[in-house]
């Protein structure tokens, strides 16, 4: 395993690279951890349960929870964030999100994780402050999702709609998405924004940005080709949306995540 580590205000961030077929024996972390999978995949075992972690998976593991990891047939790259006890205390009620095991696929979380990777690779004098802000934004988003779960379980059609948007082949409209999950388009639009903080269209753009970010980091494909494969009409539209969401142009992002 190759890893690069940085410390930011009570958080230790590790970019890990795990060889295909490798594994980590049963172990624990003294503090809660956040994990994001950039590429590859792995399975994690804990309490007799096996969790499959694929690109885009965002995972929370509470402190001292025993687990093991086995990596798949491709090399796996991810981000591990360990929070120390004093930092968790300063998070107040939002820190409760770190006391529960949770695994989600959320486009906004994915974009924030990719932005952290860019800042780690850039690592100038402003990077620690930028990374701290991105981590707090991730925790705030996770805390809001936790509150939503506690106040009422999202209806099945809502999670089905989100899963539909994560399907690489999906190109349908709001009306088609609503028909696919069996609700009225207005119901889907209102429920989706309330649950995930963005409209269906805005969330889908983030999914496409995440997909494109993976290609920018892992391939040398031309920007126009990546834009079309991710679902954008043309390279210009792709570049404008990508810059708005990540703060970088696609070419600058590619340089940032490949350069240390």
pLDDT tens-digit map of 190-226: 889 888 888 999 899 989 998 898 888 888 899 999 9
What is the span of the domain harbouring residue 204? 156-258
The CATH number given to whatever domain includes residue 214 is 1.10.10.60
Q: Are residues 174 and 142 in the same domain?
A: no
The last residue of one of the domains, among 136, 151, 166, is 151
Same domain, 120 and 43: yes
Please say which residue of 103, 132, 151 terminates a domain.
151
Residues 219 and 194 in one domain: yes
Q: What are phi and psi of 81, to 5 degrees?
A: -120, 120
The enclosing domain of 91 has a CATH number of 2.60.120.10
Q: Grade residue 3 by pLDDT with cuts at 50, 70 and 90.
A: low
Taking 70 as the threshold, does the pLDDT of residue 150 lie above it? yes
**What value does the mean pLDDT take over residues 228-239?**
90
| The total number of structural domains that make up the chain | 2
Picking from 151, 175, 199, the residue at the C-terminal end of a domain is 151
């Amino acid at each position: 395993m190759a890893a690069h580590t940085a410390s930011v205000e009570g958080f230790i961030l590790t970019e890990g690279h795990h060889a295909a077929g490798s594994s980590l024996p049963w172990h624990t972390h003294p503090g809660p951890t956040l994990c994001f999978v950039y590429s590859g995949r792995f399975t994690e075992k804990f309490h007799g349960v096996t969790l499959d972690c694929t690109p885009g998976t965002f995972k929370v593991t509470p402190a001292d929870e025993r687990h093991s990891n086995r990596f798949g047939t491709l090399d796996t790259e991810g981000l591990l964030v360990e929070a120390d006890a004093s930092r968790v205390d300063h998070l107040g009620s939002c820190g409760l999100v770190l006391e529960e095991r949770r695994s989600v696929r959320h486009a906004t979380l994915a974009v924030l994780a990719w932005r952290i990777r860019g800042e780690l690779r850039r690592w100038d004098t402003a990077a620690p402050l930028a990374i701290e802000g991105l981590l707090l934004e991730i925790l705030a988003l996770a805390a809001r999702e936790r509150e939503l779960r506690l106040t009422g379980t999202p209806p099945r059609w809502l999670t089905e709609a989100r899963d539909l948007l994560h399907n690489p082949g999906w190109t349908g409209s709001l009306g088609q998405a609503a028909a696919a999950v069996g609700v009225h388009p207005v119901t889907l639009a209102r429920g989706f924004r309330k649950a995930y903080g963005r409209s269906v269209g805005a969330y889908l753009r983030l999914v496409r940005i995440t997909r494109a970010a993976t290609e920018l980091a892992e391939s040398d494909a031309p920007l126009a080709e990546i834009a079309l494969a991710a679902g954008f009409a043309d390279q210009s539209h792709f570049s404008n949306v990508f810059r708005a969401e990540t703060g970088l142009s696609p070419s600058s992002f590619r340089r940032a995540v490949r350069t240390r």
